[in-house]
Structure 1
């Protein structure tokens, strides 16, 4: 398939720059993937699309306030550093301007609260660094760091917690699993009360989630790799749900990639961890996920391809045209869509 098939025109005014005051008051577009019919509602009504015995799968990764601003120790030159993922002996980071940072370069943050020493260099501004600090790194980042918001968000985020889900637990992401930002504790309680199982997986979202697909033939695209974990408790719950005829409802593309990776590799849900670079695009046969809750994605992105594979490209593009006509809010702080198949 060609990249241009996943392109669409989006008015810049529809790119949400700030989160809503109340999470669950975002809009929800409900799409029946079999018929293509759409309806408009509020996210707080998501329970109408969940049935007793279903499982709602949430990604409980926590975003690190991983954007740091410091200076080179020897020259005082300003450096911006974004933590991407832990590696043996330190962290993989993105440096700007990268040309100033070579092996042995020391960067000081917060008047010595944190020091990074470059250990290796790679293309596109990627560096490996060792980090030196007192106490827990997470506490140091809470004091010094900023949330690594996507490049299409130009506004400053006053409350760091609004770029976290209410169930965020395991720190390690460079970006939020944004489909989960709409849930509140009260809404999750309502879902539990209906008899829906709530299960958690972890996938640490990397910088690659923002990288556009750059090849004309999408089958030539190489996906970034991200670390995931599924516990035995979650695996057992999801297997039981499937066996009893319930639906696995995935919240977000990150949960979806984890679930489909495990089902692809093992034929069932199992306790597992590792790195996945699964690329889901039309033609892919979903085996794990029965319904998908997701935000509205960038044109020509791998996320658009994943969503299109869950239904079909034309049905998704029609739903997006409806969302644009109805002035839904797009991307990370935008509105949501649930893709499901209505039971006849």
Structure 2
């Protein structure tokens, strides 16, 4: 038998059992991490080479010195290969995990987009149908008495304003999501922003028999001066106050407080809505999330965009917003950077203020 064929058979006899054992191990590791598979493949490769060398060396004329040198070379190569394989496997595992998380986030975002389209379609289609019916009734002379005509005009104006506000919310949300928001940052007295927002929301609160109370931490000097853009901060405070009014029952109270601590400036809006179900708390700031309709069956739920806009604008200011159930209602806390104390990640909420009755 030629030496080449004989050597081949010796090497095959030594490496074949290792390869078969490796196949069994890979089958047993099905569903395990990428790193485990790569390590097994490298071990099978190296050990099969080593077994083939040993099998051939035991039946051939080779000096002990040459065999030791060969084993050292193969062992060194095996060590390096296993180290590189382990490093590569961990990187591939992390990349696979990140890719899976990215796909999951993409699926969630797509689901939220579909939900948003459904909500907005409903919110636009329903009032548009009413507007068309009222306009046709006025054009055809079906409604002619002055009182009803005036009521139709009032309702048309109110629905038009509501749809304009919805379109404005959509535009603001698209700017935030597209990264097209440009802030004109300056030192802003938060007390002035809150005062203007309360004055703007006062007619809505009066119509619902809801009291708005402003309680700065530490007295009148307690309102912090934050770094931010006035129009966007005004929108944040307005959205929070109007959201609190929307979900507070008649004769309830909305409390606005704020101050400054080691984490920077903060403001909080508390209401007496009865609280938010614990399962809904993580989704409060999601686009088009409106919560349980049973909370406020007699009030218009809104477009479900206000709190999503709040989160986007606050995060654009390098701040943070959170919500918790407190007492007989819930409390939204916004943290904003100040000129000398930027907001730090992981800071806790300030102590809950007393809600005025």
Of the two structures, which has the highest relative contact order with CA contacts closer than 8 Å and spacing of 6 or more?
1
Q: Which has the higher strand share?
A: 1
TM-score scaled by length of structure 1: 0.21
Q: Which has the higher helix share?
A: 2
TM-score scaled by length of structure 2: 0.21
Structure with bigger gyration radius: 2
